[in-house]
C-alpha cells in the first residue's frame, strides 16, 4: 500500500469501509467460522485496497463483496477443498417430514437455521445470504457471484428448497 496516497485512502475509507460489516457477514457464512471470516475479510480488504485504483465508481458494496467472495473461495480451495466438491445430496435430504413451521415452534430457531444453512454447499449458501441477509437484487447477486442473471433465480429456488429439507432433516435428528 506504499503508493496509496492520502487522497486514495480517504476515498477508500468513505466508499469501502462502510461495507466492512457486509464483507464480514458474507465471509462468516461462506466459511462457517468467525475466526476464519475475520482473517479472510481482512485479506479481502487488503486486496480491495491494493486494487482500489481499478474501481471506477459504481456500487462499492457489490465490488467489495465480489472480492470477499473470491477471496473466500480461494481460501476454501486451499484449506478445505472438499467443501467445494461436495454437492448437496437432494435424494437424501428431500424426505418428507414435519414442515419447517412446526419445527420453528420449539427450540432455538437461530441455532437451527444456522446449522441448516451451513449444510448447504457454498454456492447455494451464498445466494441465500446475499438475498435474504444482504437484500441484494438479482442483478447485484449476478455481479457478485459471476453467475448469469438467469441462473440466479434457479439457484435461489434450489437453495431455498435445500434449506427446507435441511431444516426438516435437522428436526429428525439426522444432523449432529
Q: Which residues bind other proteins (CB under 8 A)?
A: 1, 6, 9-10, 12-15, 17-18, 20-21, 23-25, 28, 34, 38, 41-42, 45-46, 49, 99-101, 104, 109-110, 113-114, 117, 131-133, 135, 137-138, 153-154, 156-158, 160, 163-164
Minimum CB–partner distance for residue 161 and other proteins (Å): 9
Task: Give the C-alpha separation, 141 to 134, whole Å.
Answer: 10
Nearer to other proteins by Cβ, of 13 and 81: the residue is 13
- What's the distance, CA 95 to chain centroid? 26
Nearer to other proteins by Cβ, of 79 and 102: the residue is 102
Minimum CB–partner distance for residue 89 and other proteins (Å): 18
Amino acid at each position: 500500500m506504499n503508493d496509496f496516497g492520502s487522497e486514495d485512502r480517504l476515498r477508500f475509507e468513505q466508499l469501502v469501509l462502510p461495507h466492512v460489516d457486509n464483507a464480514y457477514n458474507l465471509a462468516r457464512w461462506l466459511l462457517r467460522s468467525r475466526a476464519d471470516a475475520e482473517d479472510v475479510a481482512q485479506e479481502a480488504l487488503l486486496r480491495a485496497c491494493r486494487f482500489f485504483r481499478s474501481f471506477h465508481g459504481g456500487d462499492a458494496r457489490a465490488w467489495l463483496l465480489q472480492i470477499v467472495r473470491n477471496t473466500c473461495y480461494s481460501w476454501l480451495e486451499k484449506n478445505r477443498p472438499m467443501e467445494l466438491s461436495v454437492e448437496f445430496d437432494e435424494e437424501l435430504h428431500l424426505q418428507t417430514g414435519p414442515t419447517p413451521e412446526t419445527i420453528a415452534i420449539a427450540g432455538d430457531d437461530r441455532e437451527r437455521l444456522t446449522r441448516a444453512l451451513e449444510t448447504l454447499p457454498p454456492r447455494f449458501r451464498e445466494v441465500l445470504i446475499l438475498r435474504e441477509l444482504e437484500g441484494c437484487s438479482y442483478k447485484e447477486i449476478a455481479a457478485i457471484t459471476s453467475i448469469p442473471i438467469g441462473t440466479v433465480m434457479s439457484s435461489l429456488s434450489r437453495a431455498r428448497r435445500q434449506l427446507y429439507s435441511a431444516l426438516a432433516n435437522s428436526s429428525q435428528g439426522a444432523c449432529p
